[in-house]
């Protein structure tokens, strides 16, 4: 499981010009899965994301978590996180989980985050062509892997 996490002051996702998700201050999560990912990986990643201290305290240090600031989450499925570009010019996606494996993982991950997150949890649509807009605050961008 791989997540690209971006701290944002706002973000949204649209499909065919229609807004399907929108958050204020919080985190955008671009999420990819492999065939080997399971419940333990999902739970670990949810705990890690919710506990990461990536928000600034009054002294400007990254000491606060999403829960501390009451932030929101925007979660976007992105199989291209497992694109392998070492050979040739076209990425290979053989490491990415097929939809029949990835969709239940994505749905369960959203469920875990929704149950535990302090603020709003919005998402895109698995497999859809999406337009994601965000204002990266900091900028802060981290890659998390399990």
Residues noted as catalytic: 78-80
DSSP secondary structure letter of residue 119: S
How far is Cα 39 from Cα 13, in angstroms, rounded to an integer?
A: 26
Distance between CA atoms of residues 16 and 49, nearest Å = 29
Residue in the structure block whose two tokens are 């961008």: 141
Positive or negative CA dihedral for 98, 99, 105, 110?
Answer: positive
């Amino acid at each position: 499981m791989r997540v690209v996490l971006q701290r944002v002051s706002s973000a949204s996702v649209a499909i065919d010009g229609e807004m399907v998700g929108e958050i204020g201050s919080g985190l955008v999560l671009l999420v990819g899965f492999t065939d080997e990912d399971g419940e333990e990986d999902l739970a670990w990643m949810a705990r890690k994301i919710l506990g990461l201290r990536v928000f600034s305290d009054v002294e400007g240090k990254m000491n606060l978590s999403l829960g501390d600031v009451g932030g929101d989450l925007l979660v976007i499925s992105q199989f291209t996180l497992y694109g392998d570009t070492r050979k040739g010019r076209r990425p290979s996606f053989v490491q990415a989980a097929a939809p029949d494996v990835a969709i239940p993982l994505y749905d369960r991950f959203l469920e875990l985050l929704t149950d535990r997150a302090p603020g709003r949890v919005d998402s895109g649509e698995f497999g859809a062509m999406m337009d994601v807009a965000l204002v990266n605050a900091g900028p802060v961008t981290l890659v998390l892997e399990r």
